[in-house]
Copies of this chain bind each other. A is one copy, B any other.
């Protein structure tokens, strides 16, 4: 498969469409957090740590829209809202794991590249 297909800003490239959603600050982290277990909003908030309520809220809504995440509201007081991965969301974890694996193994090389860059400058 040709990676270049991911381009073409004009005309609604489907791949680009999906990558735009994925390539934001928080989506990957949220998906990662939901991998092992269903979580409630505030738990997710604390688990990730440095995401604001607003951004977490937006990210979750978009992930829900796109069918990665399921939102379940329990009519209780105080309210309880649980987020979990759908099958689609779980299937996305497969390539995502590959990406994280790459990041993990190549992180020293990235670090080295940065050091080399700083040394040149």
Contact = CB atoms under 8 A, between A and B. Distances in A.
Interface residues of A, number: 62
A102 interface: yes
A50 B88 contact: no
A33 B6 CA distance: 8
Interface in A1-54: 1, 3-10, 14-20, 22-25, 27-29, 31-33, 35-36, 47-51
A13 to B, nearest CB: 10
Contact of A88 (B27, B28, B104, B110): B110
6 contacts: A1-B104, A3-B31, A9-B48, A23-B27, A67-B117, A91-B102
